[in-house]
Protein backbone atom coordinates (compact mmCIF):
# COMPACT_ATOMS: atom_id res chain seq x y z
CA UNK A 1 0.00 0.00 0.00
CA UNK A 2 1.51 3.40 -0.94
CA UNK A 3 2.14 5.95 1.76
CA UNK A 4 0.04 9.12 1.72
CA UNK A 5 1.85 12.13 0.27
CA UNK A 6 1.79 13.97 3.60
CA UNK A 7 3.78 11.11 5.19
CA UNK A 8 6.31 11.19 2.35
CA UNK A 9 6.54 14.99 2.66
CA UNK A 10 7.78 14.75 6.25
CA UNK A 11 10.83 12.74 5.13
CA UNK A 12 11.39 13.98 1.56
CA UNK A 13 9.57 17.17 0.53
CA UNK A 14 11.17 17.16 -2.95
CA UNK A 15 9.79 13.70 -3.73
CA UNK A 16 6.38 14.68 -2.33
CA UNK A 17 6.37 17.73 -4.62
CA UNK A 18 7.09 15.49 -7.60
CA UNK A 19 4.24 13.15 -6.61
CA UNK A 20 1.75 16.00 -6.21
CA UNK A 21 2.71 17.84 -9.39
CA UNK A 22 3.00 14.82 -11.69
CA UNK A 23 -0.73 14.66 -12.41
CA UNK A 24 -0.69 10.90 -11.79
CA UNK A 25 -3.24 9.84 -9.21
CA UNK A 26 -1.81 7.38 -6.75
CA UNK A 27 -3.92 4.35 -5.91
CA UNK A 28 -5.69 4.39 -2.58
CA UNK A 29 -6.46 1.43 -0.41
CA UNK A 30 -9.97 0.12 -1.15
CA UNK A 31 -12.59 0.76 1.46
CA UNK A 32 -13.33 -2.44 3.38
CA UNK A 33 -17.05 -2.49 2.54
CA UNK A 34 -16.57 -2.10 -1.23
CA UNK A 35 -16.07 -4.94 -3.65
CA UNK A 36 -13.27 -4.56 -6.18
CA UNK A 37 -14.30 -3.80 -9.75
CA UNK A 38 -13.67 -6.44 -12.40
CA UNK A 39 -10.21 -6.10 -13.91
CA UNK A 40 -9.56 -6.00 -17.65
CA UNK A 41 -6.16 -6.08 -19.36
CA UNK A 42 -7.15 -4.99 -22.83
CA UNK A 43 -9.77 -4.95 -25.53
CA UNK A 44 -10.30 -8.69 -26.04
CA UNK A 45 -13.61 -10.13 -24.84
CA UNK A 46 -13.45 -11.62 -21.37
CA UNK A 47 -12.49 -15.27 -21.50
CA UNK A 48 -10.69 -15.04 -24.85
CA UNK A 49 -7.23 -16.61 -24.58
CA UNK A 50 -4.40 -14.14 -25.13
CA UNK A 51 -1.60 -15.37 -27.37
CA UNK A 52 1.74 -15.33 -25.59
CA UNK A 53 4.71 -14.09 -27.65
CA UNK A 54 7.29 -16.66 -28.63
CA UNK A 55 10.89 -16.54 -27.43
CA UNK A 56 11.99 -15.38 -30.89
CA UNK A 57 9.47 -12.50 -30.85
CA UNK A 58 10.61 -11.45 -27.38
CA UNK A 59 14.28 -11.57 -28.46
CA UNK A 60 13.46 -9.50 -31.56
CA UNK A 61 11.59 -6.88 -29.51
CA UNK A 62 14.45 -6.69 -27.00
CA UNK A 63 17.00 -6.26 -29.80
CA UNK A 64 14.88 -3.51 -31.35
CA UNK A 65 14.55 -1.76 -27.97
CA UNK A 66 18.33 -1.95 -27.44
CA UNK A 67 18.97 -0.48 -30.89
CA UNK A 68 16.45 2.34 -30.29
CA UNK A 69 18.04 3.05 -26.89
CA UNK A 70 21.54 3.24 -28.39
CA UNK A 71 20.27 5.57 -31.12
CA UNK A 72 18.59 7.88 -28.58
CA UNK A 73 21.71 8.00 -26.37
CA UNK A 74 23.85 8.79 -29.42
CA UNK A 75 21.42 11.55 -30.44
CA UNK A 76 21.54 13.14 -26.96
CA UNK A 77 25.35 12.97 -26.88
CA UNK A 78 25.50 14.51 -30.35
CA UNK A 79 23.20 17.36 -29.21
CA UNK A 80 25.46 17.95 -26.20
CA UNK A 81 28.52 18.16 -28.44
CA UNK A 82 26.95 20.21 -31.25
CA UNK A 83 25.07 22.72 -29.07
CA UNK A 84 27.16 22.46 -25.90
CA UNK A 85 27.95 26.16 -25.60
CA UNK A 86 24.31 27.29 -25.92
CA UNK A 87 23.15 24.59 -23.48
CA UNK A 88 25.88 25.47 -20.94
CA UNK A 89 24.95 29.18 -21.19
CA UNK A 90 21.31 28.27 -20.52
CA UNK A 91 22.37 26.14 -17.54
CA UNK A 92 24.46 29.02 -16.18
CA UNK A 93 21.39 31.27 -16.36
CA UNK A 94 19.32 28.51 -14.75
CA UNK A 95 21.77 28.17 -11.85
CA UNK A 96 21.93 31.94 -11.37
CA UNK A 97 18.23 32.85 -11.67
CA UNK A 98 16.44 29.58 -10.89
CA UNK A 99 14.73 29.46 -14.30
CA UNK A 100 15.85 29.79 -17.90
CA UNK A 101 14.48 29.35 -21.42
CA UNK A 102 16.28 27.76 -24.35
CA UNK A 103 14.67 29.08 -27.52
CA UNK A 104 14.63 26.57 -30.36
CA UNK A 105 13.17 26.35 -33.85
CA UNK A 106 10.62 23.84 -32.49
CA UNK A 107 9.54 26.07 -29.59
CA UNK A 108 10.88 27.14 -26.21
CA UNK A 109 12.37 24.69 -23.70
CA UNK A 110 11.80 26.08 -20.21
CA UNK A 111 13.81 24.87 -17.22
CA UNK A 112 13.19 25.60 -13.56
CA UNK A 113 14.99 24.65 -10.35
CA UNK A 114 12.96 24.17 -7.17
CA UNK A 115 15.12 24.02 -4.05
CA UNK A 116 14.17 22.11 -0.89
CA UNK A 117 15.80 21.62 2.51
CA UNK A 118 18.62 19.09 3.00
CA UNK A 119 20.31 19.74 -0.35
CA UNK A 120 17.35 18.42 -2.39
CA UNK A 121 16.52 19.96 -5.76
CA UNK A 122 13.83 19.23 -8.35
CA UNK A 123 14.69 20.13 -11.95
CA UNK A 124 11.63 20.68 -14.16
CA UNK A 125 11.95 20.87 -17.93
CA UNK A 126 8.96 21.85 -20.14
CA UNK A 127 9.41 21.41 -23.89
CA UNK A 128 7.04 21.36 -26.90
CA UNK A 129 6.55 17.59 -26.70
CA UNK A 130 6.01 17.29 -22.95
CA UNK A 131 7.75 17.80 -19.64
CA UNK A 132 9.84 16.00 -17.07
CA UNK A 133 11.06 16.20 -13.51
CA UNK A 134 14.34 15.04 -12.01
CA UNK A 135 15.24 14.92 -8.33
CA UNK A 136 18.89 15.66 -7.66
CA UNK A 137 21.19 17.53 -5.27
CA UNK A 138 22.50 21.10 -5.27
CA UNK A 139 25.96 19.91 -6.35
CA UNK A 140 24.69 17.72 -9.22
CA UNK A 141 21.93 19.90 -10.65
CA UNK A 142 24.19 21.60 -13.23
CA UNK A 143 25.32 18.31 -14.77
CA UNK A 144 21.76 16.96 -14.78
CA UNK A 145 20.47 20.16 -16.36
CA UNK A 146 22.95 19.92 -19.25
CA UNK A 147 21.91 16.34 -19.95
CA UNK A 148 18.17 17.01 -19.55
CA UNK A 149 18.23 20.08 -21.82
CA UNK A 150 20.09 18.09 -24.49
CA UNK A 151 17.57 15.25 -24.12
CA UNK A 152 14.65 17.71 -24.39
CA UNK A 153 16.23 19.25 -27.49
CA UNK A 154 16.69 15.80 -29.03
CA UNK A 155 13.14 14.72 -28.27
CA UNK A 156 11.36 17.83 -29.59
CA UNK A 157 12.19 17.21 -33.25
CA UNK A 158 15.30 15.79 -34.91
CA UNK A 159 15.87 18.96 -36.92
CA UNK A 160 15.32 21.38 -34.00
CA UNK A 161 18.09 23.92 -33.56
CA UNK A 162 18.66 26.44 -30.75
CA UNK A 163 17.98 30.03 -31.71
CA UNK A 164 20.47 32.78 -30.82
Would the pLDDT of 10 be above 90? no
pLDDT at 159: 75
CATH of residue 127's domain is: 3.30.2450
φ, ψ (nearest 5 deg) of residue 114: -115, 115
Helices 55-82 & 84-97, crossing angle to 10 degrees?
A: 80
Closest CA to 117 of 15, 19, 47: 15
pLDDT, one tens digit per residue, over 58-76 is: 999 999 999 999 999 999 9
* Residue-level pLDDT at 162: 81
Q: Give domain status of residue 119, yes or no.
A: yes
Residue with the bigger pLDDT between 46 and 106: it is: 106
Number of domains in the chain: 1
Interacting residues of 64 by C-beta distance below 8 A, sequence separation 6+: none
Q: What percent of the chain lies above the pLDDT cut of 70?
A: 79
Residue 90 lies in a domain: yes
Q: Answer whether residue 76 is part of any domain.
A: yes
Residue 116 lies in a domain: yes
Residue 91 domain flag: yes
Confirm whether 11 is domain-assigned.
no
Neighbour tally for 24: CB within 10 Å: 8
Does residue 52 sit within a domain? Answer: no
User: Is the pTM higher than 0.75?
Assistant: no
Domain region containing 137: 62-156
pLDDT tens-digit readout, 113-126: 999 888 889 999 99
In a domain, 43, yes or no: no
pLDDT tens digits for 20-37? 777 666 666 666 666 666
DSSP element (H, E) containing 153:
helix 141-156
- The larger pLDDT score, comparing residue 140 to residue 24, is at 140
What average pLDDT does the chain have?
A: 84
Share of the chain above pLDDT 90, in %: 46
Amino acid sequence: MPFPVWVVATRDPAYAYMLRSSGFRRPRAPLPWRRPKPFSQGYAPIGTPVRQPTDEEIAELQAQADADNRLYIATVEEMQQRHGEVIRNTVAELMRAGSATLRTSAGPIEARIIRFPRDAVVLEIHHPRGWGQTRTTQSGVGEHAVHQLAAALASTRPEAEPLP
